[in-house]
């Protein structure tokens, strides 16, 4: 997968993308991430990318030309066209389901806004999709883009083991079961006996029940759309 990110602050991404799983995925060439400075696509002599809003009001609005030029230049250099995603608090909510679909796309171009937002023509005529990471407003699209890339890359084949993904929260409409590690007894709080029993089938069933109970308690909304359990579950 190829991910292109267009931002006025491309430097913000360096740390996040150069550690741990994201770093290894790039080293293994499972994903390539390219950062583009939006200012490089501004025709203004001061590399300005924003202007006052028509109709008045507070703050500055990001101009359309640099975004259109950035996407056209990126596409011209390296086909295929790719899917353009505008990070926006007004977009569709980023979910594990949406990420699964995005993980099948060959190339993504992520547009990060700043200031009061982006000229509407970018949303209407350049973006294929608008994605929000939640019902709150951040100062820019860079952190949402990092969230999207992090959550997406771990779904790409070869990045993590299939087994780690299968039972994760949201993967099958349930939150994950409780996890424990050593020590067995921590300040009088013990690991459930079943996990020490070595009986894998019983452990699997226990985990499924715990995942179900936890979801019912914390996120009952998830149960409405979940996959049907296998016969022996629960």
Q: Which residues bind ligand SAM (CB under 6 A)?
A: 87-90, 112-114, 116-118, 132-134, 136-141, 144
Residue (25 or 127) nearer to ligand SAM, CB: 127
Edge-to-edge strands of the sheet including 32-37?
Answer: 32-37, 2-7, 107-111, 83-93, 129-132
Report, in Å, the least distance between residue 157 CB and ligand SAM: 27
Q: Based on C-alpha coordinates, what's the Rg of the chain? A: 22
Ramachandran quadrant class, 48 (left: phi over 0; alpha: psi -120 to 50; beta: rest): beta
Residue (88 or 215) nearer to ligand SAM, CB: 88
Report, in Å, the least distance between residue 227 CB and ligand SAM: 28
Residue (128 or 199) nearer to ligand SAM, CB: 128
Closest CA to 66 of 77, 74, 76, 58: 74
Q: Are 69 and 120 in contact (CB under 8 A)?
A: no
Residue (25 or 118) nearer to ligand SAM, CB: 118
Report, in Å, the least distance between residue 88 CB and ligand SAM: 5
Residue (70 or 159) nearer to ligand SAM, CB: 70
**What does the alpha-carbon distance between residue 208 and residue 214 come to, in Å, rounded to a whole number?**
10
Q: Which residues contact 212 (CB under 8 A, 6 or more apart)?
A: 174, 234
Q: How far is CA 119 from CA 18, 38, 101, in A?
A: 32, 14, 27
Nearest residue to ligand SAM by CB is: 113
Query: What tokens were used for 218?
Result: 């914390």
Report, in Å, the least distance between residue 122 CB and ligand SAM: 9
Report, in Å, the least distance between residue 10 CB and ligand SAM: 14
Report, in Å, the least distance between residue 62 CB and ligand SAM: 7
Query: What tokens were used for 67?
Result: 């975004």
Residue (137 or 223) nearer to ligand SAM, CB: 137
Q: Are 227 and 172 in contact (CB under 8 A)?
A: yes
Q: Are 194 and 223 in contact (CB under 8 A)?
A: no
């Amino acid at each position: 997968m190829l991910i292109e990110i267009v931002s006025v602050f491309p430097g913000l991404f360096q740390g996040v993308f150069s550690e741990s799983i994201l770093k290894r995925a790039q080293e293994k060439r499972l994903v390539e991430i390219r950062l583009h400075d939006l200012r490089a696509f501004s025709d203004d002599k001061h590399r300005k990318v924003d202007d006052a809003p028509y109709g008045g009001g507070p703050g500055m609005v990001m101009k359309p030309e640099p975004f259109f030029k950035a996407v056209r230049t990126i596409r011209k250099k390296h086909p295929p066209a790719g899917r353009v995603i505008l990070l926006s608090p007004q977009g569709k909510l980023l979910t594990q389901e949406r990420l699964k679909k995005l993980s099948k796309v060959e190339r993504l171009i992520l547009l990060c806004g700043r200031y009061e937002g982006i000229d509407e023509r970018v949303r209407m005529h350049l973006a294929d999709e608008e994605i929000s990471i939640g019902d709150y407003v951040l100062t820019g699209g860079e952190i949402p883009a990092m969230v999207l890339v992090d959550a997406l890359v771990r779904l790409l084949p070869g990045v993590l083991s299939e087994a780690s993904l299968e039972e994760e929260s949201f993967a099958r409409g349930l939150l994950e079961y409780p996890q424990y590690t050593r020590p067995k007894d921590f300040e009088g709080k013990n690991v459930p006996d079943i996990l020490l029993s070595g009986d894998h089938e019983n452990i699997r069933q226990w985990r499924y029940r715990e995942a179900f109970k936890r979801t019912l308690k914390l996120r009952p909304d998830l149960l409405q759309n979940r996959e049907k359990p296998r016969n022996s579950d629960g």
